[in-house]
Amino acid sequence: MTERRTMIVTGASRGIGAAVALGAARRGWAVGVNYRTQPDEAEAVVRSIRNDGGEAVALAADLGDEAAIVAMFEAADRQLPPLGCLVNNAAGVAPRRLRLTDLDAAAINALLAVNVTGAMVAAREAVRRMATAGGGAGGSIVNVSSLAARHGAPNLYIHYAASKAAVDTFTHGLALEVAADGIRVNAVRPGLIDTEIHERAGMASRVEKVAPRLPMKRAGRPDEVADAILWLASEEASYVTGAILDVGGGA
Ligand code: NAP
């Protein structure tokens, strides 16, 4: 990278997002470490980056809140170099195994507000800053989808799976919409990754239960997803747009 630019990573206080933030800093990006409820975790990621000589700030925002997303981008404008990449990683999950008949509109909408609307609003803010037509220097967006978009997650969380299918279609459409504006838009679709998301979804032992049934007989690590995201964000992927890369160990 010639001039340092900023990557904003949503949901970067832990899990895959934290791995992306740390890996991005090692590759020379200044990093906006977004979090919602855990400032201590986000600050720990920021400290780790700064201790290694990198540049990072923690950025609070609930991705379900448009005004908060806009304020987060404005805070990044003030504190960090120009934006070069957005990683749309934050996601809501179901609090436990649910069937469609357990769901009401409020629960469905709360999840869609973060996973779909929030991702689109964040992408809009990124496009406004990066589009060459508006005087920006171009850049890229990487959306974090899920293999659930393919298998549908029956008896688990079909609304979450459907939200990730929306992310896939959004990736494809936006990639075409902004291709001539110097912005590439891609997605990764992780399979089973060993993070706290499973505990959040009320299935703390999911990794040990499911991993033996996977082709590689193990879950993925956050850094293995981060490496795919960071490649898509890099100049090495300069002719890749609209791609959806499965990172699921063959699942
Ligand atoms: P995780 O360990 O639970 O971390 C989620 C992160 O997102 C945290 O930093 C959390 O911060 C943040 N977050 C959640 N809701 C937010 C909101 N409304 N606004 C802002 N930040 C929010 O999850 P993960 O496993 O790393 O998942 C990261 C991404 O990978 C998600 O898009 C997920 O759907 C996808 N994915 C994961 C797996 C897997 O097996 N782990 C598989 C497929 C796809 P707070 O705690 O502060 O809210």
- Name the token pair of 110: 């709360």
Give CA–CA dist 129/19, Å, rounded: 25
Q: Could you list the residue range(s) of the whole structural domain that residue 37 is in?
A: 6-246
| Spacing of C-alpha 120 from chain mean position | 12
CATH at 33: 3.40.50.720
- Name the token pair of 195: 């993070």
Confidence of residue 128 (pLDDT cuts 50, 70, 90): very high
Whether the pLDDT of residue 2 is over 90: the answer is: no
Report yes or no on 1 lying in a domain. no
The total number of structural domains in the chain stands at 1
In this prediction, residue 130 carries a pLDDT of 98
Report yes or no on 236 lying in a domain. yes
Report yes or no on 107 lying in a domain. yes
Report how far apart, in Å, the C-alpha atoms of 144 and of each of 115, 141, 168, 191 are: 9, 10, 9, 11
Q: Using CA positions, which residue lies closest to atom 34 of ligand 1?
A: 91
Confidence of residue 115 (pLDDT cuts 50, 70, 90): very high
Give CA–CA dist 134/182, Å, rounded: 11
Q: Write down the residue that tokens 């747009």 correspond to.
A: 241
Share above pLDDT 90 across residues of the chain, in percent, rounded to a whole number = 99
pTM of the model: 0.98
In this prediction, residue 23 carries a pLDDT of 98
In this prediction, residue 59 carries a pLDDT of 98
Report yes or no on 39 lying in a domain. yes
Confidence of residue 100 (pLDDT cuts 50, 70, 90): very high
Report yes or no on 204 lying in a domain. yes
- Name the token pair of 147: 């293999």
Give CA–CA dist 31/178, Å, rounded: 23
Pocket test for ligand 1, best of 10, 33, 35, 205 (most atoms within 8 A of CB): 35
Q: Using CA positions, which residue lies closest to atom 4 of ligand 1?
A: 15
Torsion sign, CA atoms 112, 115, 117, 118: positive
In this prediction, residue 140 carries a pLDDT of 98
